[in-house]
Amino acid sequence: MMTGAGIICSLGSHVPEVWDALISGRTGIGPIDGFDPNGFSCLLAAQVRPLDISDLKIHPRDARIMDTPSYLLLKAARDAFRGARLEGTQIPREEIGFFAGMGMMDYDIEDLLPAVLKSLDATGGLNYSAFYSRGYTEVHPLWPLSMLNNIGFCQVGTSLDLQGENSVFSPHADSGMMAIAEGAKSVLDGRAQVVLCGGVSEKVSPFSLARARLCGVLNTTGAKDGPSCKPFDAERRGTVLGEGAGVIALERESSARRRGVEPLAAVTGHGCSCECQGGCAGPTAKAMTLAMKSALDRSGLNPSEIDLVMAHGDGTLAGDRSEIEAIQHVFSDGIENLHVSSSKGALGHLLAGAPLADAILTISMMNHGLIPATLHTSAPDPSIRFHLVHGKPVKKDLKRVLINCQSCEGQAASIVVEAAGG
Amino acid sequence: MVNRDVPRRRVVITGYGMITSLGKDAEETFENASQGKSGIDYLTAFDTTHLPCRIGGQVKEEWLEKSDPEADRFYKFSSRGLKLMRRATLEAAGQARLHELTNRERIGISFGFHGDSPEVDDLMFLHRFYDGKGTWDMKGLMRSGGYSFLNFLRRKPDVATTILPKMFDCKGPNLTVASACAAGSQAIGEAYRLIQEGKADVMIAGGSEAALNFMGFIGFVLIKALAERYSVPQKASRPFDRKRNGFVMSEAAGAVILEEREHARSRKIPILGELLGYGASADAYRITDTHPTGLGAVLAMKGALEEASVRPEKIDYINAHGTSTAMNDVTETKAIKEVFGARAKEIPVSSNKSMLGHSIAGAGALEMILTLMGMNRSIILPTINQEFPDPKCDLDYVPNEARRREHQVALSNSFGFGGQNACLCIGRYVE
């Protein structure tokens, strides 16, 4: 059972704010701020607003080695923790676990540059002996900490005093899903009473942009003003990076009841499979099919019992194509009545944060009986036979939602979220 | 506390492989370790002249080259960490005869890896295209051709789990664990869980690390974690000894093949041991220091014992994290006493890092395999460089010489930088 949720992304910094923006069709995608993106062929991203970190209670000593992803994860984790009424809880700390998927932690070139500058010879080349003997001491002593993928994770765990079972996965969307699956298993096996499961995107930086571009997933049409991430659109041209994090608290129904905490929804099944289309084109339709089927099997559900598929739908040519094929294969009967939506048109691609954001938004969708439109999509791909929610939200009573995600490197993963008490 | 309603699928080990500073494979590493040899020496991979620590555990180049003639193409494009990973996984997969399996969707991957550190040349190169104020000359960078795909792949932790499925044609669950020094053990632990819950029948699990280049190395120099006072390199890593003063960094990779027991039995593959339990915890104390009373370590060990349904008095041996830092070795000793009480002093505890150094994400995998090999051969590997007893470290660390003794059940500890802890409970296989 999910009993707490925290989200932060380009659309806002708590659940109601993000939901209001999403359902009213606002986009979080805009011109890149913070560095000059000219030359990267993509000028757009869904960045978070500058954070006020004063209310996160971070020790200045720790702030030095924290970057945007760590702040985002901490903010979302705090909200989920509070939402699940875990502040001041009697639950022993070693019974509270923590699992998260994290994107790449990029080194900040500013941390390393002084060492290079101090070691240049007269011609502007690097004097290696100067670098090796003195230059390197210019590197900030805590720089290595800011590079380690698990440090942000441990800072959040330390800040909330979470001593139970834990692991950190990296770096794609599937790692966020894996965090949910492993967290759920830890709770079901009784190794933890409550777990926080989280996922956080990378920071939008020259490095993350370059990486996405080199993987070939980025929209590089260079449009500055138009919307650029169009999931499942016939005219889709690639994805747009987003920043954000989502964290949920999971516990058994009996634990929630004992603590008097209202369950928000239940995670009932997970499946994954890995087979790459080649290059960085994401998993094959077969891998996605297997992931969806195994998540459904584990929930004990037939495809016809699913009310909505929150698709990975990142707006890439190959990724969306195989996802359409896979969804239509799994839901072959009654495909015309199946609703499908993607949040990436509004939020951008949050990588490891994406499945968490989708899981949290699913709770809001269930509460309101509304499916938000897939933003920026106007002419769905002609091969689509399901009901792609676009243009405007659709009213529907939602009990069971299948959420998909994939890594560009071939892993597909799915979970089923069911309404609490449903 | 732990839910026992559902019968668990048992998880056995059917293959292992490694490449370390002590040997090109598991057999050679174990043989050298059982003679108490050290794999630590002066570093030759880069210029260490002005650094306060100049030693490490390097893998010999010829082990990589000669033994893998068909990998030219792979080698051309991959970093050192991946080359090591390839060696270790090939050895493990060969032993487990992975190629014979037909249902590839039931084989998964779980690997501890952090990607590679930037090279000094990379920094220099990038610097030419950056004005220092936030603007990149992307056109120039692209034109130079150096801004290549592979340059970025090298720094990604998931390359391991991207390459391995292709190498071994596996289509099951696939994950990268990036929890620093605990990554190898946590990757094995997560693989164990995936088999237990039926998401896979076979998992390739382990860890690889090759941070012995200048930038990777100075990272640890800067945080002052490395041993800086030593008479000869071979004596620098001295876990639990009073004169210990930091860890020695090594490169290595280790891989195991975990398999559901019935699956292994039905194909009549020799079973090499059983993974009985896995415990994970967090110190939630400080990023750079371990918890003073070893709280997280205690929780991890207790978790592994509980899952294995093994009482503390049944543990015959503990393969310690034992890094040779002042702090770890004291807190680990305290934690062992906390878990095992009066019996702690009767249990042999040894640290492979005294001979192999610390290979970060690789360490947990190596140590689990060496524990298993020792069990099957009735040999307990020693902690070398035990010369000056530390009154705060007063357990039986199997000083300096391997010991011949039958043992059935052991723990292997890994405690990560940042406060993540893992413990694996391993048993000699019995039907």
Strand ranges inside B210-355, DSSP E? 252-260, 273-282, 317-319, 349-350
| Nearest C-alpha in B relative to A271 | B199
pLDDT at B156: 64
Over chain A, what is the mean pLDDT?
Answer: 90
Mean pLDDT: which of A81-90, A112-121, B168-177 is highest? A81-90
* pLDDT tens digits along B306-338: 999 999 999 999 999 999 999 999 999 999 999
Indicate the fold that domain A2-105+148-419 takes in CATH: Peroxisomal Thiolase; Chain A, domain 1 (3.40.47)
CA distance A403 to A295: 10
Q: Which residues of B touch A148 (CB under 8 A)?
A: 114, 178, 180, 417-418
Cβ–Cβ contact B124 with A under 8 A: yes
Contact (CB<8Å) B135/A36: yes
The answer to whether B392 touches B210, Cβ cutoff 8 Å, is no
Contact (CB<8Å) B157/A171: yes
Contact (CB<8Å) A410/B174: yes
CA distance A378 to A348: 17
| Mutate which: B49, B116, B127, B204, vs A, most A CBs within 10 A | B127
Q: Considering just the CA atoms, what is the radius of gyration of chain A in Å? A: 21
Q: Which residues of B touch A173 (CB under 8 A)?
A: none
**Across A328-342, average pLDDT:** 95
Cβ–Cβ contact B283 with A under 8 A: yes
Q: Which of A135-144, A254-263, A387-396, B86-95 has the lowest mean pLDDT?
A: A135-144
ipTM of this complex? 0.84
C-alpha distance from B194 to closest chain A C-alpha (Å): 9
Examine the pLDDT at B21 and tell me if it is beyond 90.
Answer: yes
Size of interface A-B (CB pairs under 8 A): 231
**Across B141-163, average pLDDT:** 61
The Cα-based distances of B82 to A117, B79, B298, B358, B423 in angstroms read 31, 5, 33, 18, 25
Q: Which residues of B touch A62 (CB under 8 A)?
A: 287
Examine the pLDDT at B264 and tell me if it is beyond 50.
Answer: yes
Task: Judge whether B181 counts as a catalytic residue.
Answer: yes
**Across B352-359, average pLDDT:** 97
Examine the pLDDT at A140 and tell me if it is beyond 80.
Answer: no
Which residue among A40, A129, A273 places its CB closest to the CB of B138? A40
Q: Which residues of B touch A32 (CB under 8 A)?
A: none
Cβ–Cβ contact B266 with A under 8 A: no
Task: Judge whether B358 counts as a catalytic residue.
Answer: yes
pLDDT at B150: 43
Contact (CB<8Å) A149/B178: yes
- The residue with tokens 């909505």 is A308
Q: Which of A104-108, B65-69, B167-171 has the lowest mean pLDDT?
A: B65-69
Contact (CB<8Å) B180/A148: yes
Contact (CB<8Å) B282/A206: no
Contact (CB<8Å) B420/A154: yes
Examine the pLDDT at A263 and tell me if it is beyond 60.
Answer: yes
Burial of B153 (0-12, 13-18, 19+ CB in 10 A): buried
The answer to whether B377 touches B285, Cβ cutoff 8 Å, is no
CA distance B76 to B83: 10
| Candidate list B181, B393, B423, B425, residue with the active-site label | B181
Examine the pLDDT at B4 and tell me if it is beyond 60.
Answer: no
Cβ–Cβ contact B296 with A under 8 A: yes
What residue ranges do the domains of chain A occupy? 2-105+148-419, 109-145
Q: How large a percentage of chain A has pLDDT more than 70?
A: 96
Per the document, the length of chain A is 422
CA A333, A339, A340 angle in degrees (round to 5)?
A: 110
Q: Which residues of B touch A129 (CB under 8 A)?
A: 47
Contact (CB<8Å) A190/B193: no
> Biggest alpha carbon distance in chain A?
73
Q: How many CA atoms lie within 13 A of A46 on its CB side?
A: 33
Examine the pLDDT at A104 and tell me if it is beyond 80.
Answer: no
Contact (CB<8Å) B2/A136: no
Over chain B, what is the mean pLDDT?
Answer: 90
The answer to whether B350 touches B382, Cβ cutoff 8 Å, is yes
Cβ–Cβ contact B109 with A under 8 A: yes
* pLDDT tens digits along B86-107: 999 999 999 999 999 999 999 9
Which residue among A94, A113, A144 places its CB closest to the CB of B127? A113
| Candidate list B358, B393, B407, B425, residue with the active-site label | B358
Q: Which of A5-9, A80-84, B61-65 has the lowest mean pLDDT?
A: B61-65
pLDDT at A59: 76
* pLDDT tens digits along A224-241: 666 689 999 999 999 999
C-alpha distance from A278 to closest chain B C-alpha (Å): 10
Task: Judge whether B321 counts as a catalytic residue.
Answer: yes
pLDDT at A9: 96
Three-state SS string across chain A, please?
CEEEEEEEECCECCHHHHHHHHHCCCCCCEECCCCECCCCCCCEEECCCCCCHHHHCCCHHHHCCCCHHHHHHHHHHHHHHHHCCCCCCCCCHHHEEEEEEECCCCCCHHHHHHHHHCCECCCCCECHHHHHHCHHHHCCCCHHHHHCCCHHHHHHHHHHCCCCCEEEEECCHHHHHHHHHHHHHHHHCCCCCEEEEEEECCCCCHHHHHHHHHHCCECCCCCCCCCCCCCCECCCCCECEECEEEEEEEECHHHHHHHCCCCCEEEEEEEEEECECCCCCCECHHHHHHHHHHHHHHHCCCHHHCCEEECCCCCCHHHHHHHHHHHHHHCCCCHHHCEEECCHHHHCECHHHHHHHHHHHHHHHHHHCEECCECCCCCECCCCCCEECECCCEECCCCEEEEEEECCCCEEEEEEEEECCC
pLDDT at A95: 96
Which residue among B3, B105, B418 places its CB closest to the CB of A190? B3
Contact (CB<8Å) A144/B1: no
Cβ–Cβ contact B147 with A under 8 A: yes
Cβ–Cβ contact B75 with A under 8 A: no
Contact (CB<8Å) A158/B109: no
Examine the pLDDT at A178 and tell me if it is beyond 50.
Answer: yes
Examine the pLDDT at A170 and tell me if it is beyond 60.
Answer: yes
Cβ–Cβ contact B232 with A under 8 A: no
C-alpha distance from B405 to closest chain A C-alpha (Å): 33
Q: Which residues of A touch B115 (CB under 8 A)?
A: 104
Q: Which residue type is seen at A36? A: D
Which residue among B161, B197, B219 places its CB closest to the CB of A147? B219
| Nearest C-alpha in B relative to A128 | B120
Contact (CB<8Å) B282/A191: no
